[in-house]
Amino acid sequence: MALRLWALTLLGLLGAAASLRSRKLDFFRSERELNHLAVDEASGVVYLGAVNALYQLDAKLQLEQQVATGPALDNKKCTPPIEASQCHEAEMTDNVNQLLLLDPPRKRLVECGSLFKGICALRALSNISLRLFYEDGSGEKSFVASNDEGVATVGLVSSTGPGDRVLFVGKGNGPHDNGIIVSTRLLDRTDSREAFEAYTDHATYKAGYLSTNTQQFVAAFEDGPYVFFVFNQQDKHPAQNRTLLARMCREDPNYYSYLEMDLQCRDPDANAAAFGTCLAASVAAPGSGRVLYAVFSRDSQSSGGPGAGLCLFPLDEVHAKMEANRNACYTGTWESSRDIFYKPFHGEILCGGHALGSSQSFPCGSEHLPYPLGSRDGLKATAVLQRGGLNLTAVTVTAENNHTVAFLGTSDGRILKVYLTPNGTSSEYDSILVEINKRVKRDLVLSGDLASLYTMTQDKVFRLPVQECLSYPTCTQCQPASGVHCRVSSDLKMCLTLPRWGQLASASAHAPAAASMPLGWAPGDLRACGPQGKLPDPVSVCPPRDGRRRKSGTMPS
């Protein structure tokens, strides 16, 4: 009986191997362009924000709900609610999804569009057709996202204290936007404020009227008591693009703690220009600390030619550098700091004159200390991976047992799987064609169980397996993946997942000693490798009952 259990377990693995060879990716196609993607880690439900529509899909991308969000009568110059008699320029206008975020504790979805000056709505996670809150008559105080389709909005749902749920928002501004760049918004009504109004009168930063700099936001995330924004800023004087990382305390209603500094991703070739524009970013914890992974691009005008790089910024180093900058501004002199520090968005900063230890005494800043604070003295990193001639457009990272794998989207429609070693090198071990010559969009999301990866192109969302150990035909392909998900068996001569190995180990433990097969597992065990490092066809490992070897792809009857 035990031997039969072991055999059935092994045959199940072989069947999976055969199916992997002919696997077609699960996908869903939208009628209009897709803008954003979110996945509920608990339920596995997938949510899509598109032009004029929202979609709710199951984990296998089967449609559950669809809601129309546009087009509607609008004009960027007019204040909602739109009435044709008051807004003569109004016309039927598409609604581009600008923000799509989940609030699992309250079982709701936050969605903001480009219509009506960027107002937002709350919907039920279980059924997106059920709108929990929507108000288009509150005026400027409810304008959250950018109403310019070409200007990105990013956000983060979090809390500022017990019971509070708020939305942190970062956005650039088009010609008809309200000028607000960073804001904290309520997600629940209070006695004096509606949902999506500013948390306090001071919980916004607005670009100064004389500011000519423009921002494109890339990502928002939190770390401990802090909220972070990653964005690109096009400075006009002098003309240059900068990638900035901004940090502020979550529980800071006055924004005294706002601090930004430069991030730079350098090419390993010292003669080539740095990768200048951040296109996507993600945070993961590969070991004892969290790390910001960011992909940057370089245009054809720069030395080194067009290309892209992946850079890593450990958040411990980020915090240390930001604290050093705060201390240098507070306790230094104006003369020594005027070329380094500035006041973001508008105006000049006046550093110096404060007591030693001010940054430690006021970890979230104070009204008497310089704020908001910007520093040109930021962090620099050297790319651990670079590609010439194409852009890396998306990144997400998974880490297990001190091994890290990055999934990277490309401008030509592929997902790259890259093993990141602890010593700072990288090894690309797989490339999956999602949709040929279709740019992979920025939202690249892992399922809650880390078994699936969801990715978007222009009008399709795909579900990819995170690992495909059984499909790797060589040890060199299995080895990089083995750090996180796969192992090479020296006895079965197969590349298998760790959970599958557990099934075999359990089954073989109950088999008779003479019939059981020892499972000698080790990452990259070269004893399993045949000539040229090839692994045998997994289907041929288990011979048929009559002793003859079976053709590849056939299963016993």
The predicted structure's pLDDT at residue 552? 29
Q: Report d(CA 451, CA 396) in Å as an integer.
A: 14
**Residue 204: pLDDT band by 50, 70, 90 thresholds?**
confident
**Which tens digits make up the pLDDT trace of 356-384?**
888 888 888 888 888 899 999 999 999 99
Please state, for a pLDDT cut of 90, what percent of the chain lies above it: 44
Choice between 323 and 270, residue whose per-residue pLDDT is larger: 323
Q: How confident is the model at residue 351 (pLDDT cuts 50, 70, 90)?
A: confident
299 contacts 308 by C-beta, under 8 angstroms: no
Q: What is the mean pLDDT of the chain?
A: 80
Query: Looking at the predicted structure, is the pLDDT value of residue 504 above 80?
Result: no
The answer to whether residue 38 scores a pLDDT higher than 70 is: yes
Confidence bin at 481 (pLDDT 50/70/90): very low
Give me the mean pLDDT over the 508-535 stretch: 40
Enter the DSSP assignment of 142: G
**Percent of all residues in the chain with a pLDDT value above 70, rounded to a whole number:** 76
Instruction: Give the rounded distance of the alpha carbon of 539 from its chain centre.
Output: 37
| Whether pLDDT at 502 is above 90 | no
Q: Of the given ranges (142-156, 184-198, 288-302, 465-479), which has the lowest mean pLDDT?
A: 465-479
Backbone angle region of 100, left / alpha / beta, with phi > 0 → left and psi within -120 to 50 → alpha = beta
Peptide bond into 71 cis (omega under 30): yes
For the cut 90, the answer to whether the pLDDT of residue 282 exceeds it is yes
Whether residue 466 is predicted with pLDDT greater than 90 in this model: the reply is no
Q: What is the DSSP letter of 330?
A: H
- pLDDT on residue 519: 28
For residue 310, name the pLDDT band (cuts at 50, 70, 90).
Answer: very high
- Res 486: pLDDT: 66
Query: Are the C-beta atoms of residues 55 and 48 closer than 8 Å to each other?
Result: yes
Q: In what order do the strands lie in the sheet with 486-489?
A: 495-497, 486-489, 521-522
Tell me the C-alpha distance between 216 and 128, whole Å.
Answer: 29
Q: What is the pLDDT of residue 497?
A: 62
Tell me where in the chain the CATH 2.130.10.10 domain(s) lie: 23-470
Tokens encoding 221: 């995330």
Q: What pLDDT does residue 5 have?
A: 42
What's the pLDDT at 501? Answer: 42
pLDDT for residue 144 is more than 50: yes
Q: How many CB atoms lie within 10 A of CB 491?
A: 15
User: Distance between CA 188 and CA 190 in Å, rounded?
Assistant: 6
Residue range 399-443, pLDDT digits in tens: 876 778 899 999 999 999 998 888 888 888 888 999 999 999 999
13/451 Cα distance (integer angstroms): 16
> 169: closest CA among 99, 244, 69, 105?
99
Question: Mean of the pLDDT values across residues 308-336?
Answer: 90
Q: Which is more confident, 551 or 336?
A: 336
Q: Which fold has domain 23-470?
A: Methylamine Dehydrogenase; Chain H (2.130.10)
SS3 408: strand
Q: Which of 429-443, 456-470, 511-525 has the lowest mean pLDDT?
A: 511-525
| pLDDT, position 192 | 79
